[in-house]
Amino acid sequence: MDYLAEYERWLKEADAETVKELEAIRGDEEEIKDRFYKTLEFGTAGLRGVLGAGTNRMNEYVVGQATQGLANQLIKTNGADADLSVVIAYDSRHKSDVFSKEAAQILAANGIKTYLFEELKPVPELSFSVGYLKTTAGIAVTASHNPAKYNGYKAYGADGAQLNPELAAIVLEEIDKTDIFTGVKKMDFDEAIEKGLIVMIGDEVEEAYLDKVQEQCVNPELAKEKGDTLKFVYTPFHGAGNKPVRKILKRIGFNNVVVVKEQELPDGDFPTVEFPNPEYKEGFHLAIGYAKECGADLIVGTDPDSDRVGILVKNDKGEYVNFTGNQVGALLSEYILSALKEKNAVPKDGYIVKTIVTTNIVKAICDAYGIGMKEVLTGFKFIGEKIKESEETGIGTYLFGFEESYGYLKGTYARDKDAVVATMLIAEMALYYQEKGSSIFEQMDKIYKKYGYYKEQVVSVTLEGIEGLAKIKSTMDKIRSNPPKSVAGKKVIAIRDYLTSERVDLKTGEKSEILLPQSNVIYLELEDQNNFIIRPSGTEPKIKVYCLMKGETEEEANELLEKVKTDVDEIVK
């Protein structure tokens, strides 16, 4: 793309506000280049980028072009005479409501009926709504847990999961054919409402969604009888989780929930945190103050679109420590399966799904309860595919799915991770162990003693701009052509390359096929059940490195993690 020519074109074609923004950077070639050297890429995770004018930014024009591409894909895939419909939700980010309205008007102009929520809603509620309203697709306007300068656009298929690679490729093809200024159809909003092409939806969908969430209670009677004895602090991080999370907790019996007032209401600036990400303890500084004041043992936080959840628990020294997504996933897996076993209700064909970069302790837990474990690529849509597969074939009972990046789902009512159901289950789990005179912290220690000391760490290396993109590619190429012989002092015994769909046993030279979709992931299997995985992020300018280590003791596992983190600098340079 000739970025200077595209810049000049936008100055001629865009609206006055956009032109004003672009005029302000005239002469700043680096800034112009960054905004126009490429188009914001549409992938299986949709769009995500910094807000602003330009082809490499999130704005009404880019959203419009993407929506026209989606509309074209729906018509192309389903036929011009098909009865098409889309449901749209949005979170608290800047322009989320504007982008959702823009998308609705474009879909309406293409003859596609659109259901638009009247206020911000969580991503999992959107996923549920696709099935509940029987729409052909769904859109969530959100950038999940990214910093405030970002926004994004996730597209969902008729099954309620994010678009699979095949459909996403068609959307991208249609986007490329669509001129960003002249190729996008758009109908007046009021006209679309009058014609029934845009339908506003309210709380009736949310109540149906919460009914399904409530069905996932493991010990409903316990929560009903003893829920008020559990004190915990909740923060929605200025996002969409505030109402649905508090509603579901109240429904099942948790009335003693303290909400962080400074982070309660929607605010796209996220003024109280550097990143609205429940993975990081720093964002919980206000919540910790509340917890100390009220004597709570548990703190729960959901991200802006309420699909991820993070927790802090009080340890044996009275300090609040954060648990990783892997730890919470292991805790919930054990809790759900132990509760089913108590009721003699573990299905023989039951299974748990995890992603390839998620803790391997799950396999040990599944083996102990005599159920299966399925492994999928990174991205919750692949967990959704396993649910769909079981529904279509009648083979296998889905029990729980999660990924290391703080996403969990119990139940089949949605096809995306759900912080609302996860928060409910975490509260219920905390109450269950409290009634046994224990705690979540103590239970985690019991799990390690029972299954082994599996410890994990994700290291992200940010590489922005054109140079960063080239660096990410060269790093992956280098590791493919010359993989390390050992990591953290552990010999590499096998290499899985998910781009070539091949696993090579380095001792025997035996090659075997990887039966998963192709993906730019390199997985190094190390001695003693240790693993090292590297892949580019699908939503951010980063290389992500996953260190999955196992030790005979906690000290050994932690020592291996420190060693592997040192090796990351050498490998990714």
Quote the pLDDT of residue 334: 98
3-state secondary structure of 6: helix
Quote the pLDDT of residue 214: 98
**pLDDT tens figures, 230-284:** 999 999 999 999 999 999 999 999 999 999 999 999 999 999 999 899 999 999 9
Note whether 286 and 145 are same-domain residues: no
Please report whether residue 213 resides in a domain.
Answer: no
Quote the pLDDT of residue 202: 86
- Is this prediction's pTM over 0.75? yes
| Catalytic residue check, 144 | yes
Amino acid residing at 277: N
3-state secondary structure of 2: coil
Please report whether residue 379 resides in a domain.
Answer: yes
Note whether 420 and 515 are same-domain residues: no
Note whether 402 and 446 are same-domain residues: yes
Note whether 22 and 56 are same-domain residues: no
Quote the pLDDT of residue 551: 93
Note whether 530 and 495 are same-domain residues: yes
Note whether 55 and 150 are same-domain residues: yes
CATH at residue 336: 3.40.120.10
Domain boundary among 383, 418, 451: 451
Note whether 125 and 204 are same-domain residues: yes
Choice among 96, 100, 129, 144 that is catalytic: 144
Quote the pLDDT of residue 137: 98
CATH at residue 489: 3.30.310.50
Quote the pLDDT of residue 34: 94
Low-confidence ranges of the chain (pLDDT < 70): 539, 573
Quote the pLDDT of residue 566: 85
Please report whether residue 339 resides in a domain.
Answer: yes
Quote the pLDDT of residue 165: 86
Provide the number of structural domains found in the chain: 4
Please report whether residue 313 resides in a domain.
Answer: yes
Instruction: Assign 3-state DSSP to the chain and report helix, strand, coil percentages, each to 5.
Output: 45, 20, 35
Quote the pLDDT of residue 568: 86
Domain boundary among 451, 466, 500: 451
Note whether 120 and 266 are same-domain residues: no
Please report whether residue 218 resides in a domain.
Answer: no
Which structural domain range is residue 5 located in? 1-34
Note whether 261 and 346 are same-domain residues: yes
Domain boundary among 141, 175, 208: 208
Note whether 176 and 228 are same-domain residues: no
Q: Which of 286, 308, 307 is nearest to 299 (CA)?
A: 286
3-state secondary structure of 446: helix
Decide if 307 contacts 405 (C-beta within 8 A).
Answer: no
C-alpha span between 320 and 297 (Å, rounded): 8
Note whether 412 and 486 are same-domain residues: no
Please report whether residue 550 resides in a domain.
Answer: yes
C-alpha span between 39 and 176 (Å, rounded): 9
Strand ranges in 506-571 using DSSP code E only, listed in sequence order: 511-513, 522-526, 530-536, 542-551
Note whether 273 and 192 are same-domain residues: no
